[in-house]
Amino acid sequence: MPEIWFPHLGIEINHLNRVAFTIFGKEVYWYGIFIGTAVLLGLLLAMHEAKRTGQDPDTYLDFALYALVFAIICARLYYVAFSWDNYKDNLIKIFATREGGLAIYGGVIGGVLTALVYSKIKKINFWQLADTAAPSLVLGQVLGRWGNFFNREAFGDFTNNLFAMRYQLSQVRLGDISDNTLSQLQMVNGVEYIQVHPTFLYESLWNLGVLALLIFVSRRKKFHGEIAGLYFLGYGLGRVWIEGLRTDQLRWGGFAVSQVLSAIFIVAAAAFLVWKGRQEKLVLKSMEGENSVENEEKQED
């Protein structure tokens, strides 16, 4: 029987191990390979965009070295903070990152904070830096979600829609499975399957659309900050509904933390884009007025 199965699409997958290979006795996971590939491709994309826009590509190589470290630290701290019950009695587990537990939003926050400090120290425009890095960030999120697929994680509740995905029950962490999904186990030739929303796939495809939008607009952008604002708006819009489908949410006070944060980013990004857009129009009108006066003076002379 297949290990992973999309019954309505006729796709069956076997022999999909979360471990890619072993080196010097240490297991190397596909998740890490996807993240590493995402970092490399994201860096190349940012350096290409920097060159296209007249910036120094080496700035982004330098920035990436700092951003990667602090993004990982913040991704871990974010996860631990909202899963504190799992760590409060054994604090050493906080450092056991090989057991999993990195939150994307924590990484995003860490990257933004690094960009703020870096741009201040290097005396470069923060919003231009953010615009150049944003497509690379969402590219990383497109690829990173496939690491979740190999890990059999980041899935949703029971569904029977076109994209319904089946995992063998024995290969999934029980803590990630909702009671509703367990009550609707699929038994096929003696093998128990859960049938769920492939939310990793939804988010990967959504982010691919966001990436296409950012690249398209970057060739036509009207002000610094526009691409970064569109990233937070676009990513937030996708995450706010996809997060609602997931069964492994980080929660605080009864709320799904990432869902709330997504809603905040949507509102903040929309407000920022409207405000900056109006500012840009005022600047253009002012410039047009000055040019008109100059032309009239020249005609009089």
- Which DSSP string do the residues of 258-291 spell out, in sequence order? HHHHHHHHHHHHHHHHHHHHHHHHHHHHHHHHHH
The C-alpha atoms of residue 293 and residue 83 are separated, in whole angstroms, by 63
The C-alpha atoms of residue 288 and residue 292 are separated, in whole angstroms, by 6
Decide if pLDDT at 252 tops 90.
no
Q: Which helix (H) or strand (E) holds 28?
A: strand 26-29
Decide if pLDDT at 299 tops 80.
no
Range of the domain at 109: 16-154+208-300
Is 145 annotated in some ligand binding site?
Answer: yes
Average pLDDT over residues 162-166: 96
**Confidence (pLDDT) at 87:** 83
**Confidence (pLDDT) at 140:** 93
Q: Which residue type is seen at 63?
A: F
Question: Can you state the percent helix, strand and coil of the chain, rounding each to 5?
Answer: 65, 10, 25
Average pLDDT over residues 262-268: 96
264 part of a folded domain: yes
The C-alpha atoms of residue 48 and residue 187 are separated, in whole angstroms, by 50
256 part of a folded domain: yes
Average pLDDT over residues 255-275: 94
Decide if pLDDT at 226 tops 70.
yes
Tokens representing residue 97 in the block: 């990152």
Alpha-carbon distances, residue 4 vs 95, 169, 192, 254 (angstroms): 31, 10, 12, 32
Burial class for 198, CB neighbours closer than 10 Å (0-12, 13-18, 19+): buried
**Confidence (pLDDT) at 296:** 55
Closest CA to 77 of 43, 113, 40: 113
Q: What is the pLDDT of residues 8-51, one digit of tens each?
A: 999 999 988 889 889 888 888 898 899 999 999 999 999 999 99
181 part of a folded domain: no
The C-alpha atoms of residue 261 and residue 256 are separated, in whole angstroms, by 9
How high does pLDDT run on average in the chain? 90
Average pLDDT over residues 87-95: 81
Decide if pLDDT at 293 tops 50.
no
Closest CA to 227 of 51, 49, 74, 57: 49
**Residue with the larger pLDDT of the pair 259 and 90:** 259
Residues 6 or more apart in contact with residue 212 via CB below 8 angstroms: none
- % of residues, the chain, pLDDT over 90: 71
Assess contact for 65 and 41: CB atoms under 8 A.
Answer: no
Assess contact for 140 and 42: CB atoms under 8 A.
Answer: yes
26 part of a folded domain: yes
**Confidence (pLDDT) at 145:** 93
Tokens representing residue 286 in the block: 């002012």
Q: What is the pLDDT of residues 141-156, one digit of tens each?
A: 999 999 999 999 999 9
Note the pTM of the prediction, 2 decimals: 0.89
Q: Which residues pair with 165 in a beta bridge?
A: 196
Instruction: Choose from 1-5, 12-16, 158-162 the range with maximum mean pLDDT.
Output: 158-162
Average pLDDT over residues 273-300: 69
Q: Hunting for tokens 């009864």 — which residue is that?
A: 254
| Three-state DSSP class for residue 102 | coil
Answer left, alpha or beta for residue 192, where phi above 0 means left and psi between -120 and 50 means alpha.
Answer: beta
Domain count, the chain: 1
Q: Which helix (H) or strand (E) holds 22?
A: strand 19-23
Decide if pLDDT at 76 tops 70.
yes
**Residue with the larger pLDDT of the pair 211 and 81:** 211
203 part of a folded domain: no
**Residue with the larger pLDDT of the pair 56 and 15:** 56
Q: Which helix (H) or strand (E) holds 63?
A: helix 57-81
49 part of a folded domain: yes
217 part of a folded domain: yes
